[in-house]
Amino acid sequence: MNSAAPSPPDRPRLLILHGDDLPPGRERIEGHPGLGGVAYTTADGLSAALPGTDILFVWDLFSEALEASWPEADALTWVHAATAGVDNLMFPALAGSGVTVTNSRGIFDQPIAEYVLGLVVAYAKDFHRTWEYQRERRWEHRETARVAGSRALIVGTGPIARATARLLTAVGVRVRASGSRARTGDPDFGDVVLSSTAETGPGGEPTLFGEIPAADHVIIAAPLTDATRGLVDRAFLDLMKPTAHLINVARGPIVDQPALVEALDSGGIAGAALDVFEREPLKAINPLWGLPGSVVSPHMAGDVVGWREELVDLFLDELSRHLDGREPRNVVDKCRGYVPG
């Protein structure tokens, strides 16, 4: 689909890049009085549709089509992503331009935190084995682990990580975190160490090296950047205790998949719950589907009923701010690849 309406003078033109699905409630966008026209395109038509476009709404959630079409972006001033992660948009030409990039930070925080809490409880209470034994009509009494008093290490300190920390703390889990800088006295995490597996940071700061071995649950909730790509490698996994579980609700490339497969297969860690993967959808032949302690979900941790409508609500709020000359809510630092703060 590639359609456009005539653009009144001096009003910005909006282009919506979509995949198989269009945003719900499109009439609210199309009827916005501040717009000079709304057009729709898929990735194949992006290059032809971009000239003269002022605003791009990336509804095709993980599309990388903008980079190839960038030479045609002759009027673009603002790109809004219907996702929290914007790694698919952080190509050099856009990062070095004057174009503002905003994301959908805030929409997925609580749903993803609830998803993580569910996984922590499911692992501790051995639900997967209960379901397995029920299918086998097998009565076997077991003891399970306490959730309260267990330790969680959250890699990341953004809003998803904070929402997760608050939920886990509420059920008695002791939470620590790692981020781009070490600090103490954080209201949600207490102590934050440096996201590095070196024994100490460049200035002697505490790092993951001292926290991973004590963690029962290691939760990846960081943006994909040059610093986090491949962070969970063999050295990281070797620091985890054999009874610990890894949970990744961030981005697939943060985890070294071959190293994780080896750790699961050898019993180096007890399990891994993965909602994101380097290549999606995950192919049926991928070993992660059947490894001991492995939980595979199709990138759905934040997708609760009504999430698409919430994304449109957020975009309309940002659109009003943009047209009124007010500061947007979620401006991405294009050097860092995420919204700071």
Do residues 98 and 228 share a domain? no
- Determine the pLDDT at residue 341: 80
Query: Tell me, what CATH number does 45's domain have?
Result: 3.40.50.720
Domain span including residue 162: 108-296
Do residues 280 and 134 share a domain? yes
Do residues 191 and 98 share a domain? no
| 147 inside domain | yes
Confidence grade of residue 5 (pLDDT, cut at 50, 70, 90): very low
| 101 inside domain | yes
Which residues on neighbouring strands pair with residue 58, listed in sequence order?
17, 81
- Residue closest to 51 by CA, chosen among 41, 64, 61, 60: 41
Confidence grade of residue 298 (pLDDT, cut at 50, 70, 90): very high
Do residues 85 and 177 share a domain? no
Q: Residues 306-330, buried b or exposed e (16+ Cβ, 10 A)? A: eebeebbebbeebbeebeeeeebeb
Do residues 236 and 316 share a domain? no
Do residues 117 and 262 share a domain? yes
| 288 inside domain | yes
What whole-number percentage of the chain has pLDDT above 70?
97
- Determine the pLDDT at residue 9: 58
Do residues 57 and 130 share a domain? no
| 7 inside domain | no
Confidence grade of residue 10 (pLDDT, cut at 50, 70, 90): confident
| 339 inside domain | no
Number of domains present in the structure of the chain: 2
Give 284's contacts (C-beta < 8 A, 6+ positions apart). none
Q: Residues 69-107, buried b or exposed e (16+ Cβ, 10 A)? A: bbebbeebebbbbbbbbbbbbbeeebbeeebbbbbbbbb
| 333 inside domain | no
- Determine the pLDDT at residue 8: 55
| Interval 103-107 mean pLDDT | 98
132 pLDDT more than 90: yes
204-234: pLDDT as tens digits = 999 999 999 999 999 999 999 999 999 999 9
Enter the pTM of the model. Answer: 0.94
130 pLDDT more than 50: yes
| 212 inside domain | yes
| 112 inside domain | yes
List, by residue number, the catalytic residues. 251, 280, 299
Do residues 148 and 87 share a domain? no
Do residues 127 and 97 share a domain? no
Do residues 169 and 63 share a domain? no
Q: One-letter amino acid identity for 331?
A: V
6 pLDDT more than 80: no
Do residues 129 and 173 share a domain? yes
Do residues 133 and 88 share a domain? no
